[in-house]
Copies of this chain bind each other. A is one copy, B any other.
Amino acid sequence: MTTIQEVSKLAGVSVATVSRTLSMPDKVSPKTREKVHAAIAKTNYRPNVLARNFRTRKALAIVVLVPDIANSFFSRVIRGIEQAAQKKGYSVLLGDTQGLAEREYTYANMVKTSQADGIIQLHAHIPFENEADLSLPLVNACDCVRDAGIPTVQLDNAAAAKSMTEHLISLGHTRIAAIQGPSDSPITQDRLRGYQEALRENNLEVDTSLVGTGDFSLASGEAAARGLMTHPSRPTALFCFSDEMAFGAIHHIKSLGLSVPGDISVAGFDDISFAAYCDPPLTTISQPAEEFGTMAMSMLYDIINHAPPESLNHYLPHKLICRQSSGPVNPAR
């Protein structure tokens, strides 16, 4: 491997000059610049970035903590992060945590050991064992810890859930069930709140027996729907807090010989790519997944570089997408 030494020797200049040519070319005379470039080309020199980062005390890398990279929503967020990071000269270290605190700590440690400059956490959990570590550069996106004073980028989940519920109400539904996510997750809580608010404001009963629980996955949606569909007074609409759970629910509903939306309207949340292609196409809330990533990266960048973030909590817009899985309540029933 060629070093800066050898290049300097070949170019007949000092190592400092070679270094300058690379990082501050305008501080070097055109003549020497040329000589250096010639030597670099000849030796096929690549600066050792590890040495540089060590010397300058920055890793130019960030770590992304994600509960599950295979989740179709998170993977889009990460795509956004990666693109923004690349543009700013940072690389992305992937930390698939499976939701385990242990693994979060391990990855968060990379900041303390100078392997990374900051962390983007996509899960509602502080990835540190010690209070003191809260001073490390951290941005929480998507599902965010509440009132922890850490920078966040999120949806107004309550408003989104409320608008979806209002949509179902406007179709004439009065018994609207829901399948929530894990009840300890803030996004679940916010969506549930929005859903209940809409019911209350429309003088509809808030019936907790109409709320099932899943973990955002296909299988959990199917299981929760199985419970809900045996309800003595079956709902005519079902609002699932993720598209995957909605698919699982629809799968079960159809297996019962019922039709969507004929017998029951179903709505999801996320607007993943399959939503438009399933049968029937899914009414859902669209989230700007990539933007979560770019926004989080941009905030983290500012924090790492000691630029005061404009505001601690960023909210991204959602959109109600009405497709064919929701329809007017069937008077026949």
User: Which residues of A line the B interface, CB within 8 A?
Assistant: 1, 46-51, 53-54, 59, 61, 64, 68-72, 75-76, 78-79, 82-83, 86, 91-96, 103, 106, 109-110, 112-115, 218, 222, 247-248, 250-251, 254, 273-274, 276-279
Given contacts A69-B82, A86-B106, 8 further A-B contacts (CB under 8 A): A50-B114, A51-B54, A68-B79, A70-B79, A71-B75, A91-B94, A93-B94, A222-B277
A218: chain B residues within 8 A (beta carbon): 273-274, 276-277
Interface centre among A79, A94, A222, A254 (most CB of B within 10 A): A94
Known: A70-B79, A96-B82, A274-B247. A48 touches B91 (CB 8 A): no
Known: A70-B72, A247-B277. A93 touches B93 (CB 8 A): yes
27 contacts between A and B (CB under 8 A): A47-B113, A48-B54, A48-B113, A49-B113, A50-B53, A50-B54, A50-B59, A50-B113, A50-B114, A50-B115, A51-B114, A68-B79, A69-B78, A69-B82, A70-B76, A78-B94, A82-B96, A86-B106, A91-B110, A92-B94, A218-B273, A218-B274, A218-B277, A222-B277, A247-B277, A250-B279, A274-B274
Closest residue on chain B to residue A49 by CB atoms: B113
